[in-house]
Amino acid sequence: MNAFINSLMSKMTLEEKIGQMNLLTSDMDVTGPTMRDTYKQDILAGRCGNIFNAYTPKYTRMLQDMAMKTRLKIPLLFGYDVIHGHKTIFPIPLGESCSWDLEAMKESARMAAEEASADGLHWTYSPMVDIVRDPRWGRVAESAGEDPYLGSKIAAVKVQGYQDKSLSDSNSLLACVKHFALYGAAQAGRDYNTVDMSRREMFETYMPPYKAAIDAGVGSVMTSFNEIDGVPATGNKWLLTDLLRKQWGFKGFVVTDYTSINEMINHGVGKDDYEVGALALNAGTDMDMQGSVYYGQLKKLVADKKVSMASIDAAVRRILEAKYKLGLFTDPYKYISEARASNNIMTAAKIKKARDIGARSIVLLKNDKQVLPLKRSGTIALIGPLADDKRNLIGNWSAAGDWSKAISVRQALEEAASAGGFSVKYSKGSNLVEDTMLFRKLNNFGGGLTIDSTMNPQQLVEQAVQVATTSDVVIAVLGESQGMSGEAASRSEIGIPANQRVLLEALVKTGKPVILVLMNGRPLTLTWEDEHVAAIVETWFLGTEAGHSISDVLFGDYNPSGKLTMTFPRSVGQIPIYYAAKNTGRPLDPNNKYTSKYLDIPNTPLYPFGYGLSYSSFEYSDIKLDKKQLRAGEKLTVSVTVTNKGNYDGEEVVQLYTRDLVGSITRPLKELKGFKKIMIRKGESADIQFELSTNDLRFYNNDLKKILEPGAFKVFVGGNSRDLKEADFEVR
């Protein structure tokens, strides 16, 4: 590889090198992807070496043919946002993380890579591994939630799934970990906003998933829009060179997020493209996404000696190395095959897996008097603006997914009813939103909203109530549109929309048992709902097979096993709220006013991290430790017996937490250190063991050294971060 790239680079002009650092977009029309004429000229002239939003064999072949007409015939690199599937759409990442099933998450990434690579793509802008503790931020939908340990495990398996054994395989995708760094900590939960935190908090909480992706061999890194220590990530030399390359040893290339070099002018660290272009390259940013700053400024910056040829050569080498590893120099068309596209996309096996992972991602939040699973008898009222919806099921960032092929809840339940035993009566009940301004904002950006203009809101509710009163049980399918979460979709209030709440209240007043099936891309505030409905089923946006996955859980064909990976607050006033909080000097004491608490609500969340019910009930024994004292380098074996006391076989996510009681740095009340997802037959028990090493107990001190301190510890085991057994041990 080195000899080939050395030879190639020796032939390249400065303009051709800059072209390899330029990433431009393909546009989308109703007929599919299209390319601007000016960009076609850039490709033919060697001024653009990379294209995103271009897919399908026919289209990418046309573009690659242009590249093959250039002087040096350097192939184009095609990238795309394959976030939770390409054509077969899997659950949104936040939903999928709630499966706690690492093998399933790896498999969904592998299937996405197989489809995307068959459709002409080389590169995906995934995984997104930002730690998020503010559900107002819309991009929590793309994340794995609030915990660095779980987030790190998911980051690694996603990279492995996309890139597989070798990038030279034609069904592998080059992965891109994002957004480096700290993007999930945007202040006030407002997208693109400022981030400010200590270096120690960075390394302790926010950096581990990025590092896990690097250690897993991720081929590229995308910069974030926010600043780090007052310097935007795209121009932050400490972040991109000192930490990423020198300390972590990253060898791949760094790409900006969309126009983030240009946006450093708004940040106020440069007055024009010339200045911010120099800042970005000197910091270690290799490729400019859509901003054309490198294209417009690098030649002059070299002439003015503001950037060096060595920096440009290093960036170009890293980009060419990625193309070489993908095998594009051997065969620029290796990912372009009509036969592969027709044989590998939306196969029966992939559809079946999407249904299975969808069911695994569902979290049962409430099940009063075991109203679920549903009996296959009587009449079911299916009500709500999302009950017969397809567009929103595939969620945001749904790539090339075709929402018209999604399975709605109505379709799935009517399929089940066709076998006999029960009937389904449908009523829309309400529009997704009635707020005219919100409706316009969402639909301007593909919000997935429709308005029923045949009846006014009151008539919609009245019709739904009539259907409910003549049924045995009510399923209300409510929540957000897909456009209400995701990029540029922050919300200051995170309850279900007001008009849907009116509908739900009317349904509850009928006295019929109401099962609330939620679709949403973030944790919601559900205090009223938790108090008044019989059952709550959190389904997120489950993708192509959403309706089937939901039906499987509602009827007990799959016993729900999902557990929350992000805390659900009682109120937005509690945000940020997360399980790994620290004590204050005045921890909560309900009998003492002058302690840390609210006057109007409890400190506790509505649903804690790790929480999720099953149709089974699992009982935990006391914890057994193989030793009470632990020395550096030793391991502690933590054992517990879990018994299925219910009437159904079921899976349980057994979670292990620790607490360092006294440290030189204040420590969280709990930290996740391990988990195991196990199947336990009804009436049976499973003996679970965890190995806890002293390395698991290390933390970053103020010198940013990861240290182990002697002292007293607690270990906790249970089914969520709140309901736990505990034991004590000591590190000496």
Catalytic positions, please? 257
Q: Do residues 322 and 174 make contact, with C-beta atoms less than 8 angstroms apart?
A: yes
Calpha distance 400→411 (Å, rounded): 22
Calpha distance 94→90 (Å, rounded): 11
Q: Do residues 574 and 434 make contact, with C-beta atoms less than 8 angstroms apart?
A: no
Q: Mind giving me the DSSP string for 134-192?
A: -TTSGGGGGS--S-HHHHHHHHHHHHHHHH-S-TTSTT--B-EEEEETTGGG-GGG-TT
β-pairing, 514-519 vs 473-479, is parallel
The token pair at 28 is 């989308």
Residue 636, strand partner residues: 692
The Cα diameter of the chain in Å comes to 80
Q: Do residues 491 and 533 make contact, with C-beta atoms less than 8 angstroms apart?
A: no
Calpha distance 22→2 (Å, rounded): 22
Calpha distance 335→75 (Å, rounded): 12
Q: Do residues 502 and 462 make contact, with C-beta atoms less than 8 angstroms apart?
A: no
**Secondary structure (H, E, C), 230-285:** CEEHHHCHHHHHHHHHHHCCCCCEEECCCCCCCCHHHHCCCCCHHHHHHHHHHHCC
Q: Do residues 135 and 523 make contact, with C-beta atoms less than 8 angstroms apart?
A: yes
**Phi, psi torsion values for 530, nearest 5 degrees:** -65, -35
The token pair at 688 is 């679970």
Q: Do residues 558 and 101 make contact, with C-beta atoms less than 8 angstroms apart?
A: no
CA atoms within 13 A on the CB side of 347: 14
Neighbours of 197 (CB within 10 A): 14
Q: Which amino acid is at 191?
A: D
Calpha distance 5→19 (Å, rounded): 16
The dihedral region occupied by 264, where left means phi > 0, alpha psi between -120 and 50, and beta the remainder, is alpha
Q: Do residues 724 and 657 make contact, with C-beta atoms less than 8 angstroms apart?
A: yes
Q: Do residues 562 and 610 make contact, with C-beta atoms less than 8 angstroms apart?
A: no
Calpha distance 11→602 (Å, rounded): 68
Q: Do residues 526 and 336 make contact, with C-beta atoms less than 8 angstroms apart?
A: no
Identify the residue whose tokens are 């070489």: 324
Identify the residue whose tokens are 């029966």: 348
Q: Do residues 728 and 714 make contact, with C-beta atoms less than 8 angstroms apart?
A: yes
CA atoms within 13 A on the CB side of 76: 38
**Secondary structure (H, E, C), 310-333:** HHHHHHHHHHHHHHHHCCCCCCCC
